Amino acid sequence: MPSRLRTTLLAAGAAVYYLKARRERGRVERLAAAALESLLNAIDANDQTTGEHARRVAAVSLILADAHGLDDRDRSSVERVALFHDVGKIHEALFDITHDHHLLSSEERAQVATHPQRGADVVAPLSLFYPDLGAGVLAHHERWDGTGYPRGLRGLEIPLTARIVALADTFDAITCQRRYDAARSAPDAVEVIKGERGRQFDPELADLFLSEAVQARVHEAMHPWHCSPTPHASKRKPESAPGDVPDVAFRWRTAGV
């Protein structure tokens, strides 16, 4: 066979192989994304409050990730950790405790503190596709000063995803009504985060979170959820998603399909 023809055939074979591999990779990525979306649906079906909390935390986390200059890949990691950070709370062992409207006893608090590990266990089978997800979920209650749980990680030992989500999680916990805690104002949350700068939170990320530009975007993103302490505080479903708020809930359904 003439060498020119052989080269052409080899090049054509390589192109076909590359296209097949790319198509297969796309299929696998969509399968993994579908698994995540099913998991999100399962959270909603089990515990709507946690599902809504997860979406708000994801929206706020993405704002901070953008402000921090993360690329698309890292931004998506932050989004996934934010969406599934509390998946361990829907575990049967914690269901009654987290659905009671009373203050938790120390024993119950210790039980609830198992949710990062339970959540990491839930997402462990997805580590092949999302290797950082479990570590982020596990670490979202770690503290910058090393006094968090479950492993007492300190400073930069805590994955960036978890450091970002911790800020968004705290902001949401303060400004949105919980089962046993009334909503407080955004300025209250700002004061708490200021006080925990360098204690609970990465100081640089806390400063970024508290910056005027980020707070303006957070305010806008949270507005449709009616989380502020108003007579509508219990009506947490957004009436409509504003155009510039990431469509967190259904991103995966359309992405790349």
Shortest Å, Cβ 82 to Fe ion:
11
Distance from C-alpha of 132 to C-alpha of 118, rounded to nearest angstrom: 16
Tokens coding 117: 């590990």
Per-residue x/- marks for Fe ion, 45-84, CB under 5 A? ----------------------------------------
Sign of the torsion angle spanned by Cα atoms 195, 150, 162, 159: positive
Q: Of 1-9, 22-30, 86-94, 157-165, which segment contacts Fe ion by CB under 5 A?
A: 86-94
Q: Is 200 exposed, middle or buried (0-12, 13-18, 19+ CB in 10 A)?
A: buried
Shortest Å, Cβ 71 to Fe ion:
26
Per-residue x/- marks for Fe ion, 98-137, CB under 5 A? ----------------------------------------
Residue 86 binds Fe ion (CB under 5 A): yes
Q: Which residue is nearest to Fe ion (CB)?
A: 86
Residue 142 binds Fe ion (CB under 5 A): no
Q: Which residues are catalytic?
A: 89
Shortest Å, Cβ 141 to Fe ion:
6
| H-helix segments, the chain | 3-46, 48-67, 72-84, 92-99, 106-112, 115-123, 133-138, 160-175, 186-195, 203-210, 212-222, 251-254
Q: How many CA atoms lie within 13 Å of 21's alpha carbon, on the beta-carbon side?
A: 6
Residue whose token pair is 């269901």:
95
Nearer to Fe ion, 141 or 226 (CB): 141
Amino acid at 157: E
Nearer to Fe ion, 175 or 217 (CB): 175
Tokens coding 15: 């192109």
Nearer to Fe ion, 119 or 217 (CB): 119
Residues contributing to the site for Fe ion (CB under 5 A): 86
